[in-house]
Structure 1
Amino acid sequence: MADIGNSLEKAFDFVWGRFLDRLDGLSDDEYFWEPVPDCWSVRQDAAGRWRIEGDGGGPTGEPAPDPPPITTIAWRIGHIGATFIGFGDRLFADGKITVDDVEFASSATGARAYLDGAYRDWRAGIGGIDEQRWWSPIGPAFGLYAKDSTVDLALHVFDEIVHHGAEVGVLRDLYRRRSELGNL
């Protein structure tokens, strides 16, 4: 039987590398670009701290807007990093980190460092999982998903990178041709 952990680690590393390649040359203007009004982004609050709007897509206790807002590259990068941080904390640590504890990046350069740290910690965590734990329930820290396996959680996190990373790529493509968008 193949080692699921090794297969997932290779898949994560491949997708992660592809995503980081798509971030090469990202500018601050592009990072914060809002293609339509009322986007969710990462913004500085009155105290000077950078916060992600909509709790980064996590549970807020409030109903999500319908339809949900378009999000900036800054928001999507914030969400990807927060996914690693939040799920990693619940899976590998004490599960006490909240969105208020996360230091979101205030620039494109800072975004790369934010992502590098979040991924490094996630990757170290999954690299230490043995075969039995991959198939074990993830536990009460995951609420309704407590009975799901670590594989299920890892595949969810993998999906977050793939789909939000692809969205970042599309936003970058649109940003480069933004002067043409009004001609549709």
Structure 2
Amino acid sequence: MPISIAEEVLDQIESHWEGQLRPRLHGLTDDELAWTPIHSDPRTTIEWRIRHVTEGLAETNATYFDGPPVGELPRPGSASDALDRLDEAYAGWVSGVRGLGDLGLSEAQGSRSPAAFAQAPVARVMLFTSVEVIHHGAEICLLRDLYVRR
């Protein structure tokens, strides 16, 4: 039985999202979202990281799945708002990858990517996006742990 590249790409992110990241975001408070552990640098906040992941997913959705154009997202009004935006961007990404299937993932990125990646398969950018979600998701979880122990 042939291996489905689309299912492998989806399994990588879905297993992390459903088994680790999303459950760890349950109960996120507005105070946690805005908490800055060091030197008032906004890049050290949970809010910045959630927005970064949301923007990355939304940008991929716009570029590859006909999602709406994305600029820098405004700061969320609350933790609930931030998580709603994240969930929406994630759902669009998963749906888009499913829609591409193996054939779409094996196509060259072409003009949608910088020239150096034009001949690389679309699967490469989807895997990169997945790695970004896992990487920054782990940072979000660490910041939540530090917030509790501050």
Q: Does the alignment reach a TM-score above 0.5?
A: yes
In structure 2, list runs of 5 or more residues that go unmatched. none
Structure 1 segments (4+ residues) deviating >4 Å: none
Q: Which runs of 5+ in 1 are unaligned?
A: 41-69, 179-184
Looking at structure 1, the residues matched to 32 and 93 of structure 2 have their Cα atoms a distance apart, in angstroms, of 27
Could you tell me which residue of structure 2 aligns to residue 58 of structure 1?
none
1:104–1:114 Cα contact (<8 Å) kept: no
Whole-angstrom CA distance in 1 between matches of 2:77 and 2:120: 35
Q: How does 1:41-120 map to 2 (within 5 A)?
A: 70-93=43-66, 97-100=69-72, 102-120=73-91
Contact 1:19 1:165 in 2 (8 A): yes
Deviation at 1:157, TM superposition (A): 0.5
Q: 1:120-162 CA deviation, whole Å, 9 max, x = no partner?
A: 1111100111322211111212123222211101110011111
Check conservation: 2:58, 2:70, Cα contact below 8 A: no
**Do 1:80 and 1:160's aligned partners in 2 also have CA atoms closer than 8 Å?**
yes
Using CA pairs below 8 Å that are at least 6 residues apart, which structure has the higher relative contact order?
2
Equivalent in the alignment of 2:29: 27
8 Å contact from structure 1 (residues 136, 150) kept in 2: yes
Distance 1:24 1:131, change over 3 A: same
For residue 103 of structure 1, report the CA deviation from its aligned partner: 4.7
1:155 aligned residue: 127
Matching of residue 122 in structure 1 with residue 93 in structure 2: yes
Equivalent residue, structure 1, for 2:12: 11
Structure 1 distance, partners of 2:25, 2:101, is 32
**Higher helix proportion (structure 1 or 2):** 2
| TM-score, length-scaled by structure 2 | 0.90
The aligned counterpart of 2:148 is 176
Deviation, structure 1 residue 11:
2.2
Task: Return the index of the structure with the highest Cα Rg.
Answer: 1
Which AA in structure 1 matches 2:25? Answer: L
Aligned residues: 147
Structure 2 Cα separation of the partners of residues 127 and 134 of structure 1: 10
Cα distance in structure 2, aligned partners of 1:97 and 1:36? 33
